[in-house]
A and B are shown apart, each in its own frame.
Chain A
Amino acid sequence: MTQAAATLRHVLLRPGIARIGVVVLLLVVWEIAARRLVDPMFLSPPSRVLMSLQAVFETKGVPAAVLTTLWELAIAFVLSVAIGLGVGLAVGLQPFARASVMPIILLLYGTPQITILPLFILYFGIGAASKIAFGVSHGVFPIILAIVAGVQNIKPILLTSAKSMGASRWQIFRWVIFPHMIPSFFAGMRLGMTGVLLGVLLAELYVSTAGIGYFTNLFTQNFDPTRLLGLIAVLAAMAIALNEIVRRAEAHFGRWHED
């Protein structure tokens, strides 16, 4: 083997490159399967899906629907963080509140909220409000748990020493509790984002008049796999982007005290 071939082989076998190779291989298999083996009523090849992305966005109402869903996600996420932070601090900072309320929160977190999805529609209507509420119901619990865990993990000696040096309650919060909470807060935000995505999308798929759920339904019923796959790809890309933003934020803010 010549030197050049050896280097080429080395580059191709790098894990990152090989991973892309696996993805490309899967896409090729999909392309061949869709063109040769599967009824075009059900599956269309990735090349056609990619070409149809423009057609998806030109479908009347789709851009508005994607935007609506994005808004629902944003509002649900902000509400989850606000409520989760408030409840988490209120519960986490007092040992008695923690001991008595945490089991209730864990119980609520453990129940399958999907069973009460019809109730959310009943109470909040079929518009954006029910999606936001359902998203919050999924996103708020991981954030509460992360905040409580973060507050709990502060070394007692730090609190004691701050107190013995005469720090006020506010000062203790600002200079001891708050900085220690940051890593778990961002970890909670990441889990909360996963929950919010799940909740909002579940509610969208269940019933929707203007959001993406309406269009996924429409494309499914019309046996239009090209546009269905295109829309799903757009939404998946959106979900990946949102997850990546919070993950980056976690990686950036999440580990200050290891330095």
Chain B
Amino acid sequence: MKAATDQHQGGRQALASHAVQVCFLLVLIVLWFLATNRWGVNRLLLPDPVAVFWELWDILKSGEFVGDLRITLTELAAAFAISATSGVTAGYLVSRSQYRIRVFEPLFAGIYSIPIILFLPLYVLFFGLGPASKIALGATISFFPIVLSTIAGFGTVDKLLVTAARSMGASDYQLFRHVLLPAAFPVVLTGMRMGFTVALLSIIGSETIASLAGLGHRIVHLAEAMEMPRMFAYIAFVVAIAAILNLIISRLEARGRRRP
């Protein structure tokens, strides 16, 4: 039925829904503008959008963001490198026998259901306020989706394929390279994308809660200084960075899926 309606009026309807989305954004910006400039909403609660725009322009032009961005991205890269290598290794080792899967998989899944952000105070105690605690937290949080999807990916490879390859005389390496890896790769990639997203969120989050530098810290710093337009500008900047990073990682995932 969906296909039928699509054929009937797909084009026009898609256009109409896009129009609704564009209108939604426009109305939001106009309301924001009117609220601050006409209806006298307190500037400390909601800054003028025009001022926010110029602050954003200033941030981008002056390059002030570079230091904080570099710290956040370095933390992210380190955390993701740790969680990706350890998660894939641990997941692969666990997935090699059904017994190990049945022992470890519920354990990882159980820990995964705890909000690991709870351990942030502990990590701050261990690793201090600097980047180390953010890297550790980001690595811990993103380890679980990666290890779970690696177990799922390698653990559910069709037995028939493995038996067939073995009976045709495939070596361990050949089995891994030509049977296990292609079968598991898409699932592992999905886990890595999820891990990347939660690593980014937890690093910005832990920077917001307790840190010395980084984008999350910058936003909090501006909030405490009541510099609202600049803070809004930084929020927009961080949201854009997060969107770009997620877009890149989704693209990489899609590309990786196509040719394993």
Contact = CB atoms under 8 A, between A and B. Distances in A.
Contact of A122 (B24, B45, B121, B208): B45
A243 B113 CA distance: 7
Given A112-B238, A114-B205, A117-B208, A239 B20 contact: no
Interface string A212-233: 0000110110010100110010
Per DSSP, chain B at the interface is helix
Interface string A100-120: 110110000011101111110
A19 B17 contact: no
A96 B239 CA distance: 28
Nearest to B228: A122
Contacts, number: 121
A42 B126 contact: yes
A59 to B, nearest CB: 15
A23 B102 CA distance: 14
Given A23-B107, A99-B14, A114-B204, A236 B118 contact: yes
Interface stretch (A79-87, A170-178, A198-206, A251-259): A198-206
A99 B17 contact: yes
Per DSSP, chain A at the interface is helix
A241 to B, nearest CB: 11
B223 to A, nearest CB: 4
24 contacts: A19-B106, A43-B126, A95-B5, A100-B16, A100-B18, A104-B21, A112-B201, A114-B208, A115-B219, A115-B242, A118-B220, A122-B44, A194-B113, A194-B115, A197-B115, A198-B115, A198-B117, A205-B209, A220-B124, A228-B122, A232-B119, A235-B118, A236-B114, A240-B114
Given A111-B242, A115-B242, 7 more contacts: A42-B126, A114-B204, A114-B208, A123-B45, A201-B118, A219-B121, A220-B121
